[in-house]
Amino acid sequence: MSIIIGFDGSSGGGKTTLINELTKILEKEGYDVGVVQEVGREVFKEFKKKGFTSLTELRESSKLIEFQRKCLIEHYLKEDIMLSNHEIVLSDRTLFGNEFFTLFYCNKDFKTLNEYFNKLEEYIRVRKLTHGKIYDAIVITPPLPNNIDVDDGFRTPDLPYREIQAFVIKQLAEAYVDPIIELKTHDLDERINLVKPLIDYLVVRELIC
């Protein structure tokens, strides 16, 4: 069976950079690594065809819950494909990150929101049945310092709420996943030195089991 580690937390927290560096290290060690890229930008392209010019505009419309549900479906399917084809899967965002953004921004349409959570629970149940776990571990990244420019032009509206994101996503994930590692450092080398032993442990555990 494959190992899947989710990376989540605040927008602009350095998740992608950390994943990219860990992938290089793991591939040098001979592992077959699959990376699940954050799906938000890709999904937004579909909504751009419908006339939306920014994520802010989409979040002010009735189509937002549809966008979040599409992100959930795409992310789950990409993770499942990677789990079927690679030894180690590193996922940029998790199902719980998507859950946070849905809760935070889609809190008015309760009927559609309920449908979203039914879908999320279905995915969690199926993942447990097919793979025996949702994630082997989740790594939570804190916000990078304010003097570092993390505005990527896409999730700009999320930046003032970065501390909230990291805190709430961790709480959501703790109900389903153990271990969860909350990084306290912003230094990339220190982050690698904290996460790489976790991956080594998970590999050994998988071999033993």
β-partners of residue 92 are: 7
Q: Are 75 and 7 in contact (CB under 8 A)?
A: no
> What pTM was computed for the model?
0.93
Are 188 and 21 in contact by the 8 Å Cβ rule? The answer is yes
Average pLDDT over residues 200-209: 87
Q: What is the mean pLDDT of the chain?
A: 92
The number of distinct structural domains making up the chain is: 1
Domain residues for 91? 3-208
How far from the centroid of its chain's Cα atoms is residue 68's Cα?
Answer: 13
The DSSP element (H or E) to which 181 belongs, if any, is strand 180-182
Provide, rounded to the nearest whole percent, the portion of the chain with pLDDT above 70: 99
Q: pLDDT above 90 covers what percent of the chain?
A: 75
Taking residues 138-162, report their average pLDDT: 80
Please name which of 81, 79, 31, 78 lies closest in space to residue 206, comparing C-alpha atoms: 31
pLDDT confidence of 146, banded at 50, 70, 90? confident
pLDDT tens, 29-73? 999 999 999 999 999 999 999 999 998 899 889 899 999 999 999
pLDDT at 1: 64
pLDDT at 91 over 70: yes
Return the top range by mean pLDDT from 15-19, 143-147, 151-155.
15-19
pLDDT at 78: 97
pLDDT at 134 over 80: yes
pLDDT digits (tens, 9 = 90+) for 168-196: 999 999 999 999 999 999 999 999 999 99
How far from the centroid of its chain's Cα atoms is residue 168's Cα?
A: 13
CATH code of the domain containing 84:
3.40.50.300
Flag whether pLDDT at 105 surpasses 80. Answer: yes
